[in-house]
Amino acid sequence: MASLLPLLLSTLLAACAAPLCQPEAGDSLPVTLSSGLPVVPVETNGRRLPFLLDTGASVTVLRQEGAAALGLPVDRLRGTTIRGVGGDSRLSNALLARMQVGSRMLRNLTLPVSQHGDPDHFRFAGTIGADLLRVSALELDIPGSRIALHDAPGCATSPPPWPLQASIPVRILPSGLVLIPATLNGRATHALFDTGAARSVLRADRIADYGIPPEATQGRPAGYAIGAGPGRVDFHIHRGTTLEIGGETIADMPIVLSSLPPTLPVDLVIGQDYIGARRLWLSYAGRRLDVAASAGR
């Protein structure tokens, strides 16, 4: 027994030294839905404007309407190339003196300005992307109308301070995009974790690999998708797929069949039909997605 004491003491000391995550009140942001997508308030040059929170975007972007509303000057020294569902775009940048997201204050920013999209359909001034999100632990509780960026000591790698249903290892691409393991119709794959997608999407030219017949992409499209890039893409919907994530099985799930950017190294995108029904804690530093039931459900 005596020989175990040094080991027990060292374990206890290590546990005491590890910082615990103690979320701060200022981390929390109220969230509303716009066309099924999560929108949060952001202070920009002293004005409170709605921004889409988008883990599927690698960079934070202003929409043309948002930049115009703020009267921002053009950054004549810098521009940004973005790739998205609508193709590639070379965007001009605008200069933003101050942006506050929750308790985090950012100053003297140069942000790309998107000139594409559908202003009648998406009512937000810009998009918060992975370049801003990846330095925090991101808490998503859309049923509870709450999102939080946790910057407090210990939160970056610690699990959340509430009971979990599953803890899922994730991959973080150099761009900051998050890939999670999933199984679709019995085939294991990795999927993009995308809060900016209203529904989960399967790459249309790979449907045969997931047991979906070719006629699922024939006939009249169910609609079209827009996003980063100048174009829009048609999509079909296939009903009756089975999705498994973190030990949970979702049967008879409708899934969108559409083209995805060729540079995106996945066949599957997980959207708000999964994300919006759960309480999630995404640790970029810990490379982990923790899942629980929302108190708001």
Tokens of 230: 């100048």
pTM of the model: 0.87
123 pLDDT tier (thresholds 50, 70, 90): confident
Neighbours of 96 (CB within 10 A): 23
More confident residue, 8 or 46: 46
Q: How far is CA 227 from CA 50, 65, 116, 137, 196, in A?
A: 17, 15, 8, 25, 9
Work out the average pLDDT over 123-132: 92
Q: Which residues contact 263 (CB under 8 A, 6 or more apart)?
A: 83
User: Residue 158: its pLDDT value, please?
Assistant: 86
More confident residue, 293 or 54: 54
Helix/strand/coil for 234 = strand
pLDDT tens per residue across span 210-260: 999 999 999 888 677 665 555 677 889 999 999 999 999 999 999 999 999
- Mean pLDDT of the residues in the chain: 86
In order, the DSSP letters of 86-151 are: TEEEEEEEEEEEEEEETTEEEEEEEEEEE--S-TTT---SEEE-HHHHTTSEEEEETTTTEEEEE-
User: Residue 25: its pLDDT value, please?
Assistant: 59
Q: How far is CA 51 from CA 63, 124, 154, in A?
A: 9, 5, 27
Residue pair 266/192 in contact by the 8 Å Cβ criterion: yes
Q: Which residues contact 133 (CB under 8 A, 6 or more apart)?
A: 53, 55, 149, 176, 284
When mean pLDDT is compared across 6-15, 107-116, 119-128, 279-288, the lowest value belongs to: 6-15
More confident residue, 67 or 230: 67
Q: Which residues contact 47 (CB under 8 A, 6 or more apart)?
A: 69, 70
Q: Which amino acid is at 27?
A: D
Q: Which residues contact 130 (CB under 8 A, 6 or more apart)?
A: 55, 57, 58, 59, 175, 176, 177, 178
Work out the average pLDDT over 63-79: 91
pLDDT tops 70 at residue 177: yes
List the Cα angle 218/223/225 in 5-degree steps: 110
Per-range mean pLDDT, top range of 9-18, 31-40, 94-103, 184-193: 184-193
Measure the CA–CA gap between 220 and 217, rounded to whole angstroms. 9
pLDDT tops 90 at residue 136: no
> Bridge partners of 188?
183
User: Residue 181: its pLDDT value, please?
Assistant: 98
Measure the CA–CA gap between 164 and 169, rounded to whole angstroms. 14
